[in-house]
Amino acid sequence: MSQIELHTEIGNSEVKQVQEFVSLGGTICSDATCDKDISRRIGIASGIARSLEKIWKAKDVSKETKVLIYKYSISISISISKSISTLV
């Protein structure tokens, strides 16, 4: 998809257009695609999953606590998926 060019002015000053920026947790791209946003969110989720690895292996964390952490992780993942599907 080709880049969309916008010419915006505030008062007498033209606002510079950028290729992409993050707003409210989502990556907004000038080419109107959401590929970078999806990749960014997957990267964040992967990082969180890696950081939880110590908890899964910890012997001093109860099974009940691990189950709660897992349930909340799934809940957050579903929320992220729903927000991505509204963009597509």
- pLDDT tens-place string over residues 14-65: 988 888 887 777 777 777 777 887 888 788 778 877 888 888 899 999 999 9
The answer to the question of residue 29 being in a domain is: yes
Give domain status of residue 50, yes or no. Answer: yes
Helices 63-87 and 35-51 sit at what angle, rounded to 10 degrees? 180
Q: Does residue 79 lie in a domain region?
A: yes
Task: Examine the pLDDT at 87 and tell me if it is beyond 70.
Answer: no
Task: Provide the 3-class DSSP secondary structure of residue 25.
Answer: coil
Number of folded domains that form the chain: 1
In a domain, 69, yes or no: yes
- 2, part of any domain: no
Is the per-residue pLDDT at 83 higher than 70? no
49 belongs to a structural domain = yes
Please tell me the predicted confidence (pLDDT) of residue 59.
94
* pLDDT at residue 85 is higher than 60: no
Which of the four pLDDT bands, split at 50, 70 and 90, describes residue 84?
low
pTM > 0.85: yes or no: no
Give the domain range for residue 83: 8-87
Position 57 in a domain = yes
